[in-house]
Chain A
Amino acid sequence: MCKDCGCSITDMDHHYDHNEHHHHDHDHGHHHHMHETLHHNPQLNDPKTISVITKILAKNDHEADHNREHFESHGVLAINLMSSPGSGKTALLEAIADAAPFKFGVIEGDLETSRDADRIRAKGIPAHQIQTGSACHLDAFMVHHALHELPIADLEVCFVENVGNLVCPASYDVGAHLNIVLVSVPEGEDKVEKYPVMFRTADLVLITKCDLLPYINFDMAHAKEQARKIKPSVDIIEVSIKDPKSIQNVIQWISFKKSMRS
């Protein structure tokens, strides 16, 4: 029953009826209004279309904002580390542990094992391992759970070492302030172009295992050029854990970003 025009005809007839009226009657606005009312009348067993326009991952994004607030309330800078498996995320954190002037903790994400968290803890750094089972990325809910397992009040920086994967983690905000994306020399410079969504998220790209440059064809200039086509403002540092100066550069970058947020 449509109370605007008082009719009780079926939906189909009603539609045609309105169309007919449009041909004969120039009061389009009025009829349009009646048409809308018909579609939204809950008494009619009629498909109802609602416009939503929300991000599909809105809940994750909301939780990510909550995580960021949580980090900020403790003055902690949170950094999401992303790369393929084996690019050197954990090795980088071990090297940072030996030289960093700031106190940090690590949230580790892997499908199985707590090997990475064990490696970090062996350096005297607090770490919590998330085992995702089969999930190919960390999301904000997993990170939220994990950050309660860390002594966050004692930290200045918290790294989230994401699951090794150049695709899926790019779609999930985990609540970090900055994203560091690693690509190692043996992977090849084309990884930047092949995974643009990931490299688009980067605030800093680290080209790791640079001590292997003499043995591997890796076009450094091309890799940097491609990274800056995808993200013109991105910072890029060449790193080797065998070169303490390069690790210092990473630490300085983090310390600078930290000082700009305090």
Chain B
Amino acid sequence: MHEYSIVQALIDQCEELARSNKATSVTKVVVKIGQYSGVEPHLLETAFDTFKDQTVCTNAEFVMILQPLVIRCTDCQKESVLDQPHYLCPVCQSIDIQVVDGEDMMLMSLEMEE
């Protein structure tokens, strides 16, 4: 259950950004959660709801963009969405690929009030 530690890091970031933007509260937090980032979105949402009290995020709406695994093939240059974690190009079967998205957890944007 490392979702609690991740939410703690997220709320710390929101607090810092609110402070540097002279905002008193955060009304919306948008995160992008990679399908293979190792985080369970439902647990992350629960953790956010638990930890947001008495922070700038108390009244914040929590929006998760669920990001599938996207790779780009170095051989055929095609970009593909992978529906299972088999890291090869579905077009030309090359394993010389680069992960474009779907393995990270990102804070994308914040909506704040002065």
Q: Indicate which residue in B6, B22, B106, B111 contacts A49 across the interface (CB closer than 8 Å).
A: B111
- For the complex, count residues of B whose C-beta is within 8 A of A: 36
Residues of chain B within 8 A (CB-CB) of A59 are 9, 12-13
Residue B21 is within 8 A (CB to CB) of chain A in the complex: yes
**Bitwise interface map of B from 96 to 109 toward A, beta carbon under 8 Å scored 1, else 0:** 00000001111111
Residue A136 is within 8 A (CB to CB) of chain B in the complex: yes
Residues of chain A within 8 A (CB-CB) of B81 are none
User: Do most interface residues of chain A lie in helix, strand or loop, or is the interface mixed?
Assistant: mixed
In whole Å, how far is A222's beta carbon from the nearest beta carbon of chain B?
14
Residue A94 is within 8 A (CB to CB) of chain B in the complex: no
Which residues between 31 and 81 of chain A lie within 8 Å of chain B, taking CB atoms? 42, 44-60
Residue of A whose beta carbon sits closest to that of B105: A56
Asked if B106 and A167 sit within 8 Å, CB to CB, the answer is: no
- Given the known inter-chain contacts A54-B13, A56-B107, please indicate yes or no for A167 contacting B86, CB distance below 8 A: no
Instruction: Tell me the complex Cα distance, A49–B112, Å.
Output: 6
Which of B2, B36, B105, B109: most chain A CB closer than 10 A? B2
Instruction: Tell me the complex Cα distance, A198–B2, Å.
Output: 14
Asked if A200 and B112 sit within 8 Å, CB to CB, the answer is: no
Residue A229 is within 8 A (CB to CB) of chain B in the complex: yes
Asked if B112 and A50 sit within 8 Å, CB to CB, the answer is: yes
Residue A212 is within 8 A (CB to CB) of chain B in the complex: no
**Bitwise interface map of B from 30 to 70 toward A, beta carbon under 8 Å scored 1, else 0:** 01000011110000000000000000000000000000000
Asked if B87 and A167 sit within 8 Å, CB to CB, the answer is: no
- Given the known inter-chain contacts A49-B110, A197-B36, please indicate yes or no for A58 contacting B2, CB distance below 8 A: no
Residues of chain A within 8 A (CB-CB) of B85 are 196-197, 200, 229-230
Asked if A232 and B88 sit within 8 Å, CB to CB, the answer is: yes
Instruction: Tell me the complex Cα distance, A137–B106, Å.
Output: 20
Asked if B38 and A56 sit within 8 Å, CB to CB, the answer is: no
Instruction: Tell me the complex Cα distance, A59–B6, Å.
Output: 11
Asked if B86 and A230 sit within 8 Å, CB to CB, the answer is: yes
- Given the known inter-chain contacts A42-B22, A135-B5, A230-B86, please indicate yes or no for A53 contacting B38, CB distance below 8 A: no
**How big is chain A's contact interface, by range?**
35 or more
- Given the known inter-chain contacts A231-B87, A232-B95, please indicate yes or no for A52 contacting B37, CB distance below 8 A: no
Residues of chain A within 8 A (CB-CB) of B104 are 55
Instruction: Tell me the complex Cα distance, A198–B13, Å.
Output: 26
Asked if A55 and B86 sit within 8 Å, CB to CB, the answer is: no
Residue B23 is within 8 A (CB to CB) of chain A in the complex: yes
Residues of chain A within 8 A (CB-CB) of B107 are 52-56
- Given the known inter-chain contacts A45-B113, A136-B1, please indicate yes or no for A167 contacting B38, CB distance below 8 A: yes
Instruction: Tell me the complex Cα distance, A225–B88, Å.
Output: 13
Residue A170 is within 8 A (CB to CB) of chain B in the complex: yes
Asked if A229 and B37 sit within 8 Å, CB to CB, the answer is: no
Residue B17 is within 8 A (CB to CB) of chain A in the complex: yes
Residues of chain A within 8 A (CB-CB) of B39 are 171
Residue B83 is within 8 A (CB to CB) of chain A in the complex: no
Asked if B2 and A172 sit within 8 Å, CB to CB, the answer is: yes
Give 15 pairs: A residue, B residue, CB < 8 Å, sorted on A. Answer: A44-B114, A46-B113, A47-B112, A49-B111, A51-B109, A53-B107, A54-B106, A56-B13, A168-B1, A171-B105, A197-B36, A197-B37, A200-B36, A229-B85, A230-B85
Known pairs A47-B112, A55-B106. 18 more at Cβ < 8 A?
A47-B111, A47-B113, A48-B112, A52-B17, A52-B108, A53-B107, A54-B106, A56-B13, A56-B105, A57-B9, A57-B105, A167-B38, A172-B2, A196-B85, A197-B38, A198-B38, A200-B85, A200-B103
